[in-house]
Structure 1
Amino acid sequence: MKIIRKFRFYNEIIMKVLIVAATQFELQPFLEVAINYPECDTLITGVGMVATAYELGRVLHQNNAYDILINVGIGGCFDRSLPIGQVVQVVSDRFIELGAEDDEAFLSIEQLGYGKSTFRSPLYLGKEIALPFLPQRHGITVNKVHGNEETIRRIATLYPESCVESMEGAAVFFAGEKMDLPVIELRGISNYVEKRNRATWNIPQAIMHSNKALIQTLDYLLNQFDKI
């Protein structure tokens, strides 16, 4: 895919941020005001963990001067106490399909001894990032979003702490770990994870709220950076 724009202001950069989204429409509200954030570049990767990993690898190989990665997008939610449109900060994300089947059981990549599937952000300014204005939750990353009641129950049993599912989040955390770059993942809840029913989804609201949270996050980070 491509970097949509690069924002600079007289070469006076307070900090450099790479904002990552799967699709342009998930980031469109921010793009309309992005000129006010000269410290930010935006990257549209395409949908899915493979496209996201490739694009991040390509861009970060070309330019490793970023201070932080922010992943913005929509996601499905397992927790019905959170309303549609709520934005959460995903503080850890997991590749739940990475492993092997053993008849009815699933063996994770950790159990197989070939790596790990769960990732958190590297430290930012010496500590974990916990945005004070958003709830912190755990995520899962999948190639196929869930819409079957039996598989949803199985996922809820295997990963009871998981709140949000997406198709890209863990790939961003993976790239952040490899490059030692802090990661913030913002997910606007567009739907509950249930038998597929698009009539109950609210993608525009999830996008609007996640982009508002993105702007709030940038303002918060820049304020923290100014205090150094």
Structure 2
Amino acid sequence: MSRIIVTASTRMELSELLVATSASALPGGGHLPLHRADLRGAEIIFALTGLGKVNAASAATLLCERYAPDLMVNTGCGGAFAGSGLTVGDLAVADSECLADEGVQTPTGWRGLDLIGIPVYEGRGERLFNRIPLDLEVARRALDCAMTGGFKAVMGPFLTVSTCSGTARQGEELLRRFPGVCENMEGAAVAQVALMYGIPCLEVRGISNMVEDRDLSRWELKRALGEVQRFLAGHLEQLADKTPGTP
């Protein structure tokens, strides 16, 4: 039986998926709330990680060690950058992730981790600093599935931050550092851990807001999470059929 793990930071980001897949509570996760569902002969494990990179990385490590999944899926909401082609309610699919605010503030401006010269990952002939690659075949398949299903979706680089951009100016600063379509707080951590364990990783987020001067009246969190979970409920069935190990 193949196994797919789906992670999100908050209960809202998984609630509709748990209902759609008839998932039931899975004991043994310790501090990590887990649910399990059977889907087309595959086992789907849903994990509520908590907010931020530390929570996401510790959860992903536990899940990789304990369950050895065939695929990791990270989901939730995100903010879209100006010029990305995304609007509120759209889906964003990551083709790479980036630790976008980890680096060095120098007298001449911000510099990435390559200035320090110590990679966050070194293996398989790669030395990675800020940018974490994701499985492009898995990402393209998700994008195709979304567009075929009538969802508006864009694929591109994601930027993971510890401090969300509450101003347009900060969003512009991040884009000067790295290209990106979507900002979030956990994705690069999950992607990095999955890479370390040699597990393909997919990240799909619903756009709840634009990266601009913070104005909660313009956010549509419920709509964004509804769209991405509706997409994933269908796409997980396709993933279950295609993931190695499924009968």
Residue 217 of structure 1 and its aligned partner are, at CA, apart by 2.0
Q: Which residue of 2 aligns with 1:119?
A: 132
Alpha-carbon offset, residue 99 of structure 1: 1.2
Offset at residue 105 of structure 1 (A) = 1.4
Aligned twin of 1:155: 174
Counterpart position of 2:11: 24
Q: Which moved more, 1:170-179 or 1:209-218?
A: 209-218
Native 8 Å contact 1:139 1:165 kept in 2? yes
Cα distance between partner residues in 2 of 1:157 and 1:40: 38
1:70 aligned residue (73, 91, 94): 73
1:7-65 deviation digits (Å, cap 9, x = unpaired): xxxxxx3x20000000111111001122274110011110001110011112322222x
1:96 is displaced (CA, Å) by: 1.0
Which residue of the partner structure matches residue 91 of structure 2? Answer: 87
1:133 to 145, 161, 166: 145
Alignment gaps of 5+ in structure 2: 24-36, 120-128, 147-153
Letter in 1 for 2:100: I
SS at match of 1:42: strand
Q: Partners in 2 of 1:48 and 1:21 — Cα distance? A: 10
Moved beyond 4 Å, runs of 4+ = none
The DSSP-based 3-state class of the residue aligned with 2:114 is helix
Residue 179, structure 1, aligned to residue 192, structure 2: no
Q: Distance in 2 between matches of 1:76 and 1:225?
A: 29
- What SS is found at the alignment partner of 2:51? coil
Which SS does the other structure have where 1:146 is aligned? coil
Tell me if 1:200 matches 2:218.
yes
Q: How many equivalent residue pairs? A: 210
CA distance in structure 1 between the partners assigned to 2:100 and 2:183 by the alignment: 10
Percent of aligned positions that are identical: 23
Q: Distance in 1 between matches of 2:182 and 2:212?
A: 12
CA-to-partner distance for each residue in 1:57-103, whole Å, 9 max, x for gaps? 12322222x10000010000003532211012111110011111111
Unaligned runs of 5+ in 1: 1-12
Aligned counterpart for 2:22 among listed residues 35, 41, 59: 35
Give the aligned CA root-mean-square deviation in angstroms. 2.0
AA matched with 1:67: D
- CA drift of 1:157 comes to 2.1
Q: So what's the TM-score if we normalise by structure 1?
A: 0.85
Q: Which of residues 213, 219, 226 is equivalent to 2:237?
A: 219
Which residue of the partner structure matches residue 165 of structure 1?
Answer: 183
Give me the whole-angstrom Cα distance separating, in 2, the residues matched to 1:217 and 1:137: 19
Mapped pair 1:108 → 2:120 = no
Measured against aligned partners, the alpha-carbon deviations of 1:111-151 in whole angstroms (never above 9, x if no partner) come to 3211111112257xxx5541213431210000110012332
Distance 1:172 1:207 in 2: 19
Conserved? CA contact 1:67–1:181, under 8 Å:
yes
Q: What is the DSSP-based 3-state SS (H/G/I as helix, E as strand, rest coil) of the residue aligned with 2:73?
A: strand
